Amino acid sequence: MHYPILPLLAAGVLLFGGCSPEPAQILYCGTASVTEGDSSFDLTRRCGQPTPVEQAQDRPIATPAYDTNLGHYVIQSVPQPYEIWVYNDGPGRPVARINVKNGMITRIEVQGPGK
C-alpha cells in the first residue's frame, strides 16, 4: 500500500502551524531594549524609573497545605502578586505597561500615545 506523505505532512503543518506561542514583546528605550524574561534591574537600567507602579494580583493558585489543627491537608489559595510598571514618555509616544513578577518581566504591552 502506498500513502502519499507530502499531502499528510502539509496538512499537519497547516493544522498545527497556528499553535505556536505568541512571540515575546520587545520594548525599546532609546538604543537599549528589554524583553519578557529580562530582570527588573535591567529594565530600570535601560529604561529608567517607571512613572507609576501599580499593584495587581493574578488569580490565586490552589495548593495543598497541612493544617496541624485539623490533622490533615487542606487546599489553600495563595494570591500571586505582581507589579505593573508604566512608562509614559508623553504625547505622540506609546505607553508601555510592563508586568513584573518576582523581579522578572512577564509581559510587555505597548499601547497608544501617552499624555
Residue 82 falls inside a structural domain: yes
Which percentage of the chain shows pLDDT scores above 70? 77
Of 115, 74, 99, 101, nearest to 24 by C-alpha is 99
**Which residue is associated with the grid cell 499593584?**
55
**Which residue is associated with the grid cell 505597548?**
110
Residue 73 falls inside a structural domain: yes
Residue 79 falls inside a structural domain: yes
Q: Which stretches of the chain are DSSP H helices?
A: 5-17, 40-47
Three-state SS for 47? helix
Distance CA 78, CA 3 (A): 53
C-alpha cell at 95: 505607553
pLDDT over threshold 80, residue 9: no
Number of domains in the chain: 1
C-alpha pair distances (Å), 9 with each of 1, 5, 18, 20, 94: 18, 6, 15, 17, 42
Q: For residue 87, give its domain range.
A: 23-113
How much is the pLDDT for 13? 46
Distance CA 41, CA 104 (A): 9
How much is the pLDDT for 14? 45
Mean of pLDDT values over 36-56: 92
Residue 4 falls inside a structural domain: no
Residue 74 falls inside a structural domain: yes
